[in-house]
Amino acid sequence: MNATILHNPRCSKSRAALALLTEAGADVRIVDYLKRPPSRDELARLCARAGIAPRAALRPDAPKVDSDDAALDLMARDPATIERPFVETKKGAVIARPPERVRDLL
């Protein structure tokens, strides 16, 4: 199984989700999203696959926005505002908080 994780190696939840994917035998593509931020279109696609509004993909401490378009603009401009870890497989996408949510995609 292939998986992609928008990963921050300094985040314990992100490290835990990556460990669960690896233990499950997934072939994981790790994207350090702070160094290689996803585009606005990619963020919109991930949110759609996860079945969530873009505002739900913002970290709780991110500046408040009044629309999903503004959320996408903010995340594309400042990737530190993206909630992590975002994980995608052929089964869908989730924000893996708690990390065990990745099991929904295995």
Closest CA to 85 of 51, 44, 45, 57: 57
Distance of CA 42 to the CA centre of its chain: 11
Which of these is catalytic: 1, 2, 9, 11?
11
Beta strands 2-7 and 86-89, pairing class: antiparallel
Per the annotation, the verdict on 11 as an active-site residue is yes
Instruction: Give the total residue count for the chain.
Output: 106
CB 89 within 8 A of CB 106: yes
By annotation, the residues acting in catalysis are 11
